[in-house]
Structures are given as C-alpha cells and as structure tokens.
Structure 1
C-alpha cells in the first residue's frame, strides 16, 4: 500500500503496500519501452468543492489486482500511468522523469508503451519511492542506461537495505503471502528480481534534500526517516506546481490509519518518524498529492485536513500506548482498549490501530513482556498442548467448553481454547472452530473491513472446512 510485489499498496505492496513481486509469480524478462499502443490520456477532474475528510474508503486492496492501464493527465506535463503498480511521468523541455516504474508483471509492457507515447523526451531520471516491487519492478528496463550513466537512478540511501530484506527472505515471505493471497502466489521456484539488486546512482539522505532543475521544472527529493511502507520511502516535490508524489507514504487507501505493522510480515514502521513525515507534508502545503494507488488527491484544504487527521490519529495511538505502558497495563489490554476517538476515525481497511499498538510497544520495549520467564527460552507454549488435551479428558471436552464460550458471545476465548487442540482436531473441535471463525469474519466484514484480517480469517476457515470434510471422507 502498504515487500514483495503486492499490487496493492500492497501489499501486494499490496498489498509489499502493497510490497514486492509475489513469491513465484510469473515475472517476464524486461523489454525496452514500446511495442504496444498506449491508451488514451484521461484528464484528472478537479473537484468543484473540497470534500469532507472521509472516515471510510469503500475501495479495497483487491481492486488493485484488476487495475487496467490508463494515462491520466494531472496537468499539462505530469501524467499518472495507471495499473496494478501505478507510477508517474513528468515531462520537461530537457527530458522526462519517472517517479516509480510499476511492477515486473506483463502489464508493465503496456505501461511502458504508454510512457513512450506520452513522454516528450528521453527518460533522464528514474526516481523510485521505495523498494516494494510494485514501485521498483520496471527498473531493470533502464539498467543498461543506468549502468552507462545515461539515466540517473535516484532513491533513498536505505533502498538497498530494504530490497535485501525482501530478496533474501523471499521463500519465507512467499509462504506467508500464500496464506493471504492463495490465488496469486506460487511456492515453486522464485524467479530472480533484478530490481532488488540494482543500486541508486544518487542516494538521498534524511535531512539532506536532493534538489535539481530540469527544463525549467524544479524538483525536490525528500527522504523521511519513515516513508510509510518502509525505511526507504521518499517524497518528490514540485514546488512551483505544488504537486507532491508520496509513493506509499499514505498506504493503499486515502485517507486511512497507516499500516505501521503489516501483518503479512515486514519491519515495523516507527510511529514518531511517521508523524515527522506527515508534518513535512503539512509544511509543504501541496495542492495535489500524486498518490500511487487509486485516486490522485486534490485540494489544499482537504489535503491539510486529512493529513492532520492521520497525523493526529497516529499521535493519539502512540500517546495512549505510552500512557498504558507507564501505568503497568499489558499489551493485550492496550490492543483491546486503545480506540480512536470519534473525531479521529479513519479507514482501517489496510492499517489497523490494535496492530499498531502492539508494534509501538515492541518498538519501545521489544518482544519480552515480563509475563513469564518461560518466554526467554525456546520451548513454545504449544509444546504442552497434547498434555493439556489429555489432562482435560480429550479434545471433545475442549470443544464443549469452546461451545459454551460461543454461547456467551466470546469467539476469541473459544478460539484460544481450540488452539490447544491443534494437531488433534476432532470433528467437534473443527465444527466449533468453524463457528468461531465465521463469527469473527462476520464481525470483521461489518466492522473495520481490514483486508489482511479478513484474508487470514478466510484462510483459517477454509483450512478447517477442508479438514472436516477429510475427516468425514475417512469414516
């Protein structure tokens, strides 16, 4: 929105927003720009009135996977090249600049054809906002020109570091992604992802903006400490036009509570650094936010109001977490109790407050909660599950107690109990688990509609139903 090519934001950037190319997905070898006719240019319509700050965004991450290629004119020289991984073309009288490059998927051929048809000169600079594959995937198309010094590759100085985390751990992440995105991820051999092995010819550092002029257009490249979906996120600012290219600073949806912890797996995103990044956006006072996913955001008043709301929501979450820690409350209590007040309500369709509370806790204090000394050692809590099942008189006893919890409207307590029977599931355990997860899924859809939460609940439900069906077939 908001690692590996998630065409989200994802993540998925998606959903890595989200991230990089999905494990095992069929990448196509890069080809030069061109070869396909470009779509017609659509002009972004300016709003006639500044809308209210939205509390919910109806479009969800799944839609990114079906996003067709199109060209949208933001003004006379800035264009959005839409697609699963959208990016931007900026024309000047001395050449053109790309902000991001899209995914490595076949669709990128059409996107690059659109670039060729729309660009008024050669690509002089490629600025990559972060390493997620839906932003960096098209980078290898320019490798020869970059190596020859004909094209400047501009990125955050942490680009290589964040790219390595994704590339080195592709088999691990692919297994996780397969759970969330079963129809988009293969666990077979993983094709090389050369965009993660390329290194910027010009690195940008926090506190040291990179400013340049090309064909009468002023550019400012800004490197925050937290760019929204990783430590390598950058912003690109056109001060005269007051257009700000934000990559995945705001995740997949806009506006939303940020994805400070993406449950598919990636490093935590520091809340205080994120607040600093949003303060920088507010100081710039953009009239247009060239948001990578879905719509371009227009209207200074609306942008100021919505960015302030996001900043204040993160500040509230942080302050309440710190307050609770100082009062001696547990992380589980804070995950339950820290809720955004009415005036700070935002979409949690991608980022989720409770997950960010736990991430903030662990950024501050790490993984040891001072709850049991056993957690200092390698034996997991699940090691004694079989003993517990035997001691209570079998898994069916657990299933019966879980049904009691369900009757009391406590599906989470039921689920914790049923987890003890993992690996020893009887039909009764599986039926109770299906009931519990279906209740959680119904609540998730009717409530925050968080993409990843719903995806994991569906995966668990699917697995339990398959086990139950298999147990019937074995009779």
Structure 2
C-alpha cells in the first residue's frame, strides 16, 4: 500500500553541485489510516519478497523469513489458526536452508502461535529460540487468567472467541533458550548477515517486545511496537485487558528506532513502512504525541484536575493528530494517571472498601419512583445531546430494566455508536458499544417489545 503523504524537496549545495533530499514533516504524515483490526481477517497468506533474501510471510499474523548462506532466521511465527499451515508451507518453499533461529518479538498469540512446531528442534539444540527475558512473564499473565480474559474477548470478538473448553496454548509455556535483556543487545552473524536483537524496557504491546535490526540493509523488524496500525497513537491501555504500557518507556523505545535510522520498518500488520525520511517523521510524530499526552497529564494532575476532566480535555493538537483506530488518547490518559497514582482517586472513602456503588442502586431507583422515571430523566439528557450522562443514569437501573429503560438505553448507545463511527473509528470502542446494543435488544425482545428498527 502506498503511503499517502506529500514530500517536499530540500535543495542542498554540496561541493558545488545540487542534491535533492526528501524532507517529510509531521504535517505530511497521515492523520488516519484506512484499515482497522478486523480487516486482518481478510489478509491471505502470501510470501512477499522485501529484497533478495528477506520475505514477508503475509497473513492475519504476518512474520518474516531471513535467508542466509548458513541457514534461515524466522522473526515471529504467526498465529495458531489454520492459516499458519499455509504460511509455514510458504516458509518451506522460500527458505534456502534450515531454520537456525526463531526470534519471537512478543508473546501475543498472533506472533508466537506457530512456535510449538519448532519445539522439538529447540529442545534438541538445533534451533535457538530468542525472545525478551520477560516473554514467559507476559505469557503467564495471559495463560493463568485465560478463562477470565476469554470472557472479555468474547464481548469484543463474539464470532472469533469460543467460550467452550480451551485447548492448551503451548507457545506460552516455552522458555527462550536465548533471552535478551534491556541494555544488553544480542548480536550475531549468520551466513554473512549481521543481526542485532534489542530489548526495550517496554513497548506498544507489552513489556516483552523486542526489535530486530539488520544494520547492513537498515531493515528494522518491530513486531507490534507501534500497535496494529501504522502510524497510530499507541494502545497504551487495551480494553480487552492487559497491563498498562508505560508512556515514558514507550518514548524511549521510539528514540531507539529514531537513532537507528532505518530505511524500512518491517511492521507486523498490513504493511511495511518505507523510506528514511517518512519513517523519521512518522516515528517522531508518534513519539511527540505520547510526550504531549504525558506532559498534559502531569500538568493536569499537578493542577488539581480529576482523571475524568483530563480524559475529556486532553486532545492532540492538529500537528500531532494520529489514528486512534486502535489506541485512544483518553484511555491512555487514564492509564498514565493510574501508572503514577494508582486506582484511588481521593474522591470518596467508600472506594477504600469492598461495597460497590451498585449495592445501593436499588435504593436510588425506589427513591426516584421507579425505573421509568429514571428513563424519563435520561431522555432529557438525550434531547440535549448528552448520551453519556443518560447512560450513567440508566446504569443505576441495571438488573431492573423496564421496556422504557431499555428503549432509552438503545437510543443512547446508538447515538454513541454513530459518534464513534463518524469520529475516531476506534475498533474496540465500536465493538463494546455494539455488544451493549445486542444485550439491550435481547432483553427487550425477552420482554415482548420490538427491539428497534435501527441496525448496529
């Protein structure tokens, strides 16, 4: 896919001659991209040559084959889905020698899912398994809590996640035979090709992300350092559930990329990024956007603003606007707050204890005169284009919904869904709003009322 941007030419006088050098600024870097996470499901398997010895093995989870005179290196292994069989056949077809090393950029299943097919060779010492030293730690956080996470994933991906018994995920139980630590790059040469494996402290998809650098070719394999889309505001908090990603560590990781000055970023999803000027401009813009968000959080917290006010108020300036189709600034604002100060906001001492706000919702409903009166008050908010306030009121009636409550909720969520689609187009936000609509329509149908004419 071509990168949509305008490139200006700077004329430099060098030794009495003229050299045309492309100059790309932050304003030239796209503010959004035309794909979202669900588009990955339509990406077919293919072997795409990047040069005469590197292939991009395309698919829902893309990975890379690097051929050398002494064998091949795989950078990531794709998913555990059936498509992986086709991708591995492409590896066999295009590899010029045996696989000597498998480097996994992080533990997410669309990067590590194909790892078990190499387990016997890894255990026999025939293949080296290279990963961040936090690989097993991050894997364990997913594996130990898999039933819990699956219940969350099912809300976002109802057609992709089965709530039935889970088959083992052996790729999360494999130990790297060559762990890589921050500040201690792993450099090796194979068949005349030099590799440098770099372990940042943190990245855009967790604490176990690594980079693989081919200095002679100036190709940088980044895994999901930048998230699913490129370029985008990073997913410093993913609502599907995972540890927060530290903004300052992320900025440091992007500075590593800028210092390397790659001419190609081998991005794991949708496309590679090409051209030193464009890469420098786009990575700088992503770094500066996170720095801006962080600085505003610092200013707001020190100025006495609440987390809710900062989520509302902090927005990227026009020159730093990026796609929020996967990561979202307001969610990252809250993540940054809680990284710094934790979950207690000093708003009510009740939050120090185990009784949730919902414990007294039934009392509020009784005091208000019943669910329908709360629905009527919520409709006032809808008439003034305040669907969030309407949802907050309607949440008080959860578990005691009348037809009027459900009809009002559907209208409020439909309004939010329209705003989300016409605004940032954030995949997870849209998915959660759709799930809420499905649940309300199902409840309304069970009460014998029409679930509404509008479609999701």
Under a length normalisation based on structure 1, what TM-score does the superposition of the two structures give? 0.89
Match of 1:354 among 322, 330, 337: 330
1:446 maps to what in 2? 422
Please give the alpha-carbon distance, in whole angstroms, between the structure 2 residues aligned to 1:276 and 1:142: 33
1:335 is aligned to 2:311 = yes
Contact 2:74-2:103 within 8 A present in 1 as well:
yes
1:76 is aligned to 2:59 = no
Please give the alpha-carbon distance, in whole angstroms, between the structure 2 residues aligned to 1:60 and 1:166: 23
1:102 maps to what in 2? 78
Q: What SS does the corresponding residue of 2:179 show, helix, strand or coil?
A: strand
Contact 2:5-2:29 within 8 A present in 1 as well:
no
Contact 2:264-2:274 within 8 A present in 1 as well:
yes
Match of 2:146 among 153, 170, 178: 170
Q: What SS does the corresponding residue of 2:67 show, helix, strand or coil?
A: strand
Contact 1:178-1:184 within 8 A present in 2 as well:
yes
2:453 maps to what in 1? none
- Structure 1 residues 47, 177: closer, same or farther in 2, change over 3 A? closer
Contact 1:90-1:97 within 8 A present in 2 as well:
yes
- Structure 1 residues 91, 206: closer, same or farther in 2, change over 3 A? same
2:176 maps to what in 1? 200
Kindly indicate whether structure 1 or structure 2 has the higher relative contact order, using CA contacts under 8 Å at least 6 residues apart: 1
Which 5+ residue runs of structure 1 have no aligned equivalent?
1-43
Match of 2:104 among 128, 138, 143: 128
Please give the alpha-carbon distance, in whole angstroms, between the structure 2 residues aligned to 1:185 and 1:156: 28
Q: How many pairs align?
A: 431
Under a length normalisation based on structure 2, what TM-score does the superposition of the two structures give? 0.93
Contact 1:47-1:298 within 8 A present in 2 as well:
no
2:227 maps to what in 1? 251
Q: Map Cα deviations across residues 218-260 of structure 1 (whole Å, 9 max, x no partner).
A: 1000000112100000000000000000000000000000000
Q: Map Cα deviations across residues 268-301 of structure 1 (whole Å, 9 max, x no partner).
A: 0000000000000000000000000001110000
Q: Map Cα deviations across residues 103-136 of structure 1 (whole Å, 9 max, x no partner).
A: 0111111000000000000000000000000000
Match of 1:281 among 248, 257, 260: 257
1:365 maps to what in 2? 341
Please give the alpha-carbon distance, in whole angstroms, between the structure 1 residues aligned to 2:65 and 2:333: 37
* The structure with more radius of gyration: 2
Q: Map Cα deviations across residues 83-112 of structure 1 (whole Å, 9 max, x no partner).
A: 111100000001000000000111111000
Please give the alpha-carbon distance, in whole angstroms, between the structure 1 residues aligned to 2:116 and 2:445: 47
Which 5+ residue runs of structure 2 have no aligned equivalent?
8-23, 451-456
1:473 to partner: Cα distance:
6.4
After TM superposition, the structure 1 = structure 2 runs for residues 38-117 of structure 1, keeping only pairs within 5 Å, are 52-117=28-93
Please give the alpha-carbon distance, in whole angstroms, between the structure 2 residues aligned to 1:230 and 1:330: 27
Please give the alpha-carbon distance, in whole angstroms, between the structure 2 residues aligned to 1:314 and 1:211: 30
1:215 is aligned to 2:191 = yes
Contact 1:47-1:299 within 8 A present in 2 as well:
no
2:11 maps to what in 1? none
Contact 1:80-1:86 within 8 A present in 2 as well:
yes
Please give the alpha-carbon distance, in whole angstroms, between the structure 1 residues aligned to 2:187 and 2:2: 29
| 49-58 vs 120-129, greater mean Cα deviation | 49-58
